[in-house]
Chains A and B, each alone.
Chain A
Amino acid sequence: MSTTSSSTSQDQSRAFHARIDDALHNDQMRTNFRRALTGIMAHRAKQFPDDAQLQALRDQARAVRANSLVRQPELLEQLERKLTENGIQVHWAENPQQANSIIRGILQAAGAKTVVKGKSMVSEETELNHDLEQHGIEVIESDLGEYIIQLAEEPPSHIVAPAIHKNRRDVAELFKRFHPEIPYTEDINELTNSAREILRHRFATADAGISGVNFAVAETGTLCLVENEGNGRLSTTAPRIHIAITGIEKVVEKLADVPPLLEILTKSATGQPITTYFNMISRPRQPGELDGPEAVHLVLLDNGRSRIRVDAELLDTLRCIRCGACINHCPVYVQLGGHAYGTVYPGPIGLALEPQRIGLDKVGTLTSACTMCGACGEVCPVRIPLPKLINRLRAEAVDGHPGQAGLPGHGSLRKSTEATTWKLWRLLYSRPGLYRLFAASATRLRALTPSKLGGWTRYRSTPKPAPRSLRELAKKEGFGND
């Protein structure tokens, strides 16, 4: 463990706690989250009236994703071959810088100055918008939620509903500020229509479109894109260039794998039986065709995924289809909202993925923001054992054997005070004689229990040992030892 990584880790932890403090004091935002998430959970539940069917669908989706990951290297080769045959140009990026520079290169070579963008969390990983804007390329987010937070200059607070932390009044204020020409309204339909008008013009004039990908089918070389607003279809068809960016784990073997994934994705994410739009992109415009982009590119980003994939336990993280159900059902996320996490992916999937992706020493005490209640694992459509993964990451972050190979930042959260506390606990609870002595004194000296116990007593009374321990009572009441 180096001093640098330890101090970085401490800084990260302090910053995390400051953000938590801000979030917990933002009552309006917490109300927004509670209201929105309660609605989303109810919508999801309605889509799965039959638990046996849900469990069967989860098994199927899990199997599809697990198979894709096991066969990932050959599937990626096949995907590249098929896409290339179809006329889609494939680019490989090991890290965010490479991905951004590839995309910038394509845009600059084509003389593209304006870009319309569909929703893409992978582009948040690479901070693509920032990079392009630094190089004089204008980027317009075309997903309504993304458009709102782009105006507000904020990152997404949720992976599916990026502006979920805003209520209609917040949105109305933003429109008033940036579009004074539009009459003020807090009506959601009117606001949506205004945004559509504004964006429609952008689709017609943009030089290029950038999108994410939900599933990349190796068998046919097809890029599948799930969306509700039609902005994905316009971003990928109206401009003369379409660039898709995605993580390498999004590849699936065959077209037949898509229906079960699509079904459980939309039901889990927004509680819809199917989204309004489902795009299957297989090639650029062909001679004689009237529309579609002249060139289609796919950028496949690794960014730590290959490292995750080789660990038999952590591999499960990559099954994720980014539905956000774990986030929607997390009792911690509903209190904090997404920004407090300070990571690209918030909530349970963020706790599991981010320390692996960027390093245990780069996320501070992120994994402590979990009660292990299991709500996330219960709803995950591909059965990612999220609590188990979070527990494993906690263990790796405090591991005292620095020689062991592991994730970046292995052991970086180990503090000698905490380690010593657990050593003492271990001594007490693994020696029955010593523990008996402790139990006898703790009960008899209960009047001496400290009345302030850190954060616990800010919200609760002081717990006091009982006058006699159960082991004493059991003996007295005739419950034998063996």
Chain B
Amino acid sequence: MKKPDSVYYFATCLVDLMYPDAGLAGMELLRREGVRVLFPQDQTCCGQPAFNSGYRDDALAVARAQLACFERDIPVVVPSGSCGGMIRTHWPELFAGQPDEAKALAIAARTYELTEFLVDVLDIRLDDLGEPVRIAIHTSCSARREMGVADRIESLVGQLGNVEVLTQERKPECCGFGGTFAVKQADISGAMVKDKTDALRATGASVVISQDCGCLMNIGGAFEKQGNGPQTQHVAEFLWERTKR
């Protein structure tokens, strides 16, 4: 795909309320590449929480409310693997047979996860201005398995000269977030995030980054509760902070 003049930014509900700095950093990265970033003010949520809980009617109603926000034929960039996966993979399922199916399919087809867009479409070049740091990368399961773009975060970080990437044991294993899973099966989720934080802490990294704020809220929240552990940060914020002049 040729570099577009403009893109839509679909920040998702979690980024809007909990991680606005990460969301903004993603938009800054795109803008610096000469792309006009549109943030439709009527956007809310992709519908994933209700969809994964089995409440498809409610998921559909919320997803449907997004369609009018992203009508122009330009890419939709999403700073989250699971929301990107929801739109690209599950909107076609959710909207199957609905009157607005064609609109949903069109949006799904031009939806990109942020790191995927930065690498595949913009071929972004990064110049590391930050202090030396050792980090670990937690890849979102949706980015890995639903969207197949888990390696993009690695190639972006690979461009940063002062960043050493340490690899935790069982890296591809889920952190235990799973949306409503963390509430409905809180104890299993707690056991999983314990294993994940143990593995991440053992690397000695001072920062853990990811392309999904759900994972970050889970892992970061657990580190905070446990009292010692690396700082957690969304990849967009990490990249923006180290490369902005």
How distant is B158 from chain A, measured CB to nearest CB, in Å?
21
Asked if residues B21 and A466 are in contact (CB atoms below 8 Å), the reply is yes
Q: Mark A3-26, 1 if CB is under 8 A from B, else 0.
A: 000000000000000001100100
List the one stretch of B100-108, B120-128, B140-148, B200-208 in contact with chain A: B140-148
Chain B positions within 8 Å of A21 at CB level: 187
Q: Count of A residues near B, CB < 8 Å?
A: 72
CB contacts (< 8 Å) of A466 on chain B: these are: 17-21
- Name the residue on A nearest B54 (C-beta): A394
Min distance, Cβ B228 to any Cβ of chain A, angstroms: 13
Enumerate chain B residues within 8 angstroms of A395, measured Cβ to Cβ: 54-56
Q: Are B39 and A471 in contact (CB under 8 A)?
A: yes
Instruction: Compute how far the CA of A422 lies from the CA of B51 in the bound complex, rounded to whole angstroms.
Output: 10
Could you say which of B145, B182, B192 contacts A456, with CB atoms under 8 Å apart?
B182
Complex: chain A residue closest to B11, CB-CB: A470
Please give, as numbers and ranges, the residues of chain A lying within 8 Å of B183 by CB-CB distance: 454-456
Query: A372-B181, A378-B145 are contacts. A430–B37 as well, Cβ < 8 Å?
Result: no
Does B38 lie within 8 Å of A422, measured CB to CB?
Answer: no
Contact B16 A471 (CB under 8 A): yes
Q: By DSSP majority rule, is chain A's interface helix, strand, loop, or mixed? A: helix
- Bound-state CA distance A38–B172 (Å) is 13
Inside 8 A of A398's CB, which chain B residues have their CB? 53-55
- The residue in chain B whose Cβ has the minimal distance to the Cβ of A455 is B186
Q: Is the CB of A429 within 8 A of B53?
A: no
Please name the residue on chain B nearest to A395 by beta carbon. Answer: B54
Main secondary structure of the interface of B (DSSP, over half): helix
Q: Which of A371, A422, A460, A463 contacts B181 (CB 8 A)?
A: A371
Name the A residues within 8 Å of B42 (CB-CB): 432
Smallest CB-CB separation from A467: which chain B residue?
A: B20
B40 sits at the interface (CB 8 A): yes
Complex Cα gap A456–B180 (Å): 10
* B18 with A425: CB separation less than 8 A: no
B192's contact among A332, A374, A462, A473, by CB below 8 Å, is which? A332
Cβ–Cβ < 8 Å partners of A479 in chain B? 9, 27, 31, 37-39
> Complex Cα distance A335/B224, Å?
23
Pair B145/A373 contact, Cβ less than 8 Å: yes
Known: A20-B185, A466-B21. A455 touches B190 (CB 8 A): yes
Closest to B193 in A: A459
A422 to B56, CA, bound (A): 10
Interface residues in B3-27 (C-beta closer than 8 Å to A): 9, 11, 13, 15-21, 23-24, 27
Cβ distance B62 to chain A, nearest Cβ, rounded Å: 4
- CA gap between A430 and B182 in the complex, in Å: 24
A50 within 8 A of B: no
Q: Find chain A residues with CB under 8 A from B13 CB.
A: 429
Closest to A419 in B: B55
Contact pick for B64, options A369, A430, A471, A472, CB 8 Å: A430
Give the shortest distance, in Å, between B44 (CB) and chain A (any CB): 4
Contacts A374-B144, A436-B41, A482-B40 known; list 7 others, CB within 8 Å. A426-B50, A426-B61, A430-B65, A470-B23, A472-B20, A474-B41, A480-B36
